[in-house]
Structure 1
Amino acid sequence: MRTDINNHPVESILRLIRNEGIKADMTVCPGDFTNKSDVQGFISGWDFSLEISRELKSNEIVATLGNHDVDAYDSFSNYSLDIAKGIRKGFPIGNEQECDTFWSKGCVFLERQGFRILVLNSSHYHHNRISAGKGKVGKDLIDYVDQYMTKNGNNKISIALAHHHPVNHSRLDLGEDDIIINGSDLVEVLGKHEFDLFIHGHKHDPFLRYYNCLENNNRLPIFSSGSFSATTNLSWTSQRNTFHTIQIFKDEKRCNGSIKTWTFIPKRGWQVNNDDNGFHANTGFGFRGEITDLKSKISSIVGKRKIVDWKDVIEKIPDIKFLIPSESIALEEMLKKDKLLLSGKLSENPDIISNVKIEK
């Protein structure tokens, strides 16, 4: 029931958005609006997404298909995309021409002011039970992406959106068989054209890491968003449901991003969660240097002072905001070894850093 706000993820997120004044240029949904292609679930899932997008005052909402959004088992239709194409209400893309390209090519470039999104349908080949076991992008699609970017590439923020993961994501015993076929070739092309972020769903496990592209040594951040409202998420993956906002900053030299995450906790609603088992509440991507250098700079700023305001450190070393979770943890450990203690984890935006080498 929606009247039980703290137990209803949609009603709870709407209240959070209103209370915190959260806004977004675009709402992005990486697929699986329903379970096992259930029609009413699909209609409700997309309606909920539209509600959230309106509350965020987004300019538009963009989605892709998940494996559960495709009737590959012929449960409701003898055409696997019949339900998805019949949802309407701007699904998956509001612009009719862009939507037609998405259905026909299995992908579409959305060119917007200051940024572009490549929306990929990794469920494009889910025509039957066997083909639905993996995501896939065709070689012709990868060639199309390469040719398009060769002609149209510029310094816009460039984001790829898909449902399935393009590189291995088998932690938490989640398996290796559902990866995108030709995914490594896809990310190599995205790296060649200096894409700034790859967002995917499917794994129910929020995770942020880099893929090191071979051709130009570009590091492509790959962000698994986790799930928003899967009721069995804890039993499947031990991970809770999550909701994210992403800010991306780009100039001629580099691109950085920050991600804020809220976690849904039953009977408490959406919370900023910082326990060790969850995804970092505040994290980022785009740092290009060495963690040891950051530690040395922090140590130099603290010097012989006992306590320093952390915001003063961030002001002088803004790169700290753009560390992925594994880098943040590594920096925390280095600081501890140097007897520099934060008042909380980096993901908690600590208030101070203390130099315990200094005698009281």
Structure 2
Amino acid sequence: MKLPKFVAFPFLFFCFFLSVRASQCVYLRFVWPAQKLYNFKRSQRTLSDTPNPPPTSPPPLSPISPRCSAKSVVNAHNNRAGVCVCVRPCVYVCINTTISSKQADAREPQEEQVAIHYLASFHELCVVTALLPLVTLFTCFVTAYVFQYDDVHETHCRVYNIIPSISAITGVSPQRYFWRFSIALHIGPRIPIAFVYKNYYRSQLRRISPAQVPQTSLLITLILVLNCIEIASLGGVTYISNRENYPVHERIFITFMVCSLCYMLATIKLNSILNAGQALSEKQLLSIKWKKILFAVSILSTVGLLVFFAKHRFYCHDLAFSWFAFFEYLIAIANMLFHFTIIWDFPSQFMMIVQGPRENLAQYLSSRPKLD
């Protein structure tokens, strides 16, 4: 059964919309409340462990101006003639530090203020980045399996199969356009995330002995390189389909597989070095545990993929290609979920674009520890 394109496109977008809404509902229903509850309990535990400070009397209000109007606050800020401190919502206590206009003019020019132009939750960005290809892959599989069954099951052996490969369901129209658009949105945030991980690991080098720092720093650089090659290979496999250029597609896919497995192994090894003898939080332990499980799943699935690929390529066994496709889906899902563990590595961080004095930024960059 082949659906006309003027019907397939709206149906494809409808299925994708339903998948996105379903994943959003699952996140808001289960993940977000659990995270909020965990943060609340941790804050309550912190408050219970902190001794209560002795009660102090509130600062007296200024006899000249007990409350500052909006106009006086603005004038005080512009002329540097007063300091307003918020002691409770919508009430400002003004300390009388009046300065004459001549003294204000004689001062140095006002320093550049820090301005935040963009602020986004790094946690939510990582969730969307990780779930986007998974939701799109599910949408492409359902629509291609239902409406383009014969096209996605076509192989050179002409044998019976029931599961199409990822290359097959993302190589037909209109699924190929949807998959490529999704991967383009997915690759964009993954490049800065790779460098965020590099800086995150390098900030933990102080935990280990100085003798281990050079080798561990080299391992962090290797992880960054493997991650970037994996991202580039994912783009190459997506935009060079097996129908257009099979030899190039096959080589890029092998590169993606090798770099993905090496990246997982190097990440697990690095975590074992940095966290040796350290007291880890519940989320850190959960992240390390699932990284090891997903790496084991990827290794076993790779072995099964190679075995059934040989049976399909050289012997043309029935259902061999279906088993190959099954293990291919397991590898893809394990890879996506491995990167999804970033929600436990960065549970409450933010990404921001800040404008501020260049002197402060230059001072920060010059004061960073040199680890190389």
Greater percentage in helix: 2
TM-score (norm. length: structure 2): 0.20
Higher strand share: 1
TM-score (norm 1): 0.21
User: In terms of Rg, which structure is larger?
Assistant: 2
